[in-house]
Amino acid sequence: MNLRKKLIILPELQRKIVSPFVWMCLAMIALNVGFFGVFFNNVLSELNAIGDQAVNSHFLTTLMVGLVMLLILNLVVLVTFTYFFFYFSNRIAGPVFRIEQQLDFLKETGKFNPIVLRENDLLKSLADKINGVCQK
C-alpha cells in the first residue's frame, strides 16, 4: 500500500502526538458525564420532593435519553477527533519517514539522494536544509 494513503506511518511518533489529544477528549467526556450526573442527581432530588410518580417517570425517562444522546455525541466527537489527530500527525510522520529513509540510504551506501517532499509538507524547509548540507 502506498505510504501516502496510510493513516499510521510511524506509530511511535504518531502515538506521542495523538495521545494527549485523545486523553483530552476522554477527559471532556468524563466531565460532561460528571456534570450531567450532578444535574441528574439534583433533578432527581427535586422530583422526589414533588412526589408525583407520573411526572417523575416522565422526567427520568427524558433525562436518561439526554444522557444517552450526550454519550453518543461525545463518542462521535472522540472518534472524529482521533481520526483528524492521526490525519494531521501523518503530515509530520510522513516527511519524517521520508527523511529517515534517505538518511539511512546515505549511511548505508554513502550516496545521497535528495529528499523530495511535497510543497505543502510541514517539514519541507528541514528537508531542503538537509539536501543543501548533504549535496555539498
The series of mean pLDDT values per 10 residues for the chain, 136 residues long, is 68 85 86 81 75 73 82 87 85 88 91 88 87 84
pLDDT at 104: 92
pLDDT at 3: 53
The helix-helix angle for 53-109 and 11-50 (nearest 10°) equals 170
| Nearest by Cα to 13 from 119, 107, 102, 85 | 85
The reply to whether 86 falls in a domain is yes
pLDDT at 2: 59
Instruction: Please state the pTM of the whole predicted model.
Output: 0.60
The reply to whether 34 falls in a domain is yes
Domains identified in the chain, total number: 1
The reply to whether 6 falls in a domain is no
pLDDT at 46: 74
State CA 109 to chain mean position distance. Answer: 38
The reply to whether 4 falls in a domain is no
Q: Is 124 exposed, middle or buried (0-12, 13-18, 19+ CB in 10 A)?
A: middle
pLDDT at 48: 74
Extract the C-alpha cell encoding 120.
505543502
The reply to whether 1 falls in a domain is no
Q: How far apart are CA 131 and CA 46, in angstroms?
A: 70
The reply to whether 62 falls in a domain is yes
| Residue ranges making up the domain that contains 96 | 12-134
The reply to whether 124 falls in a domain is yes
The reply to whether 7 falls in a domain is no
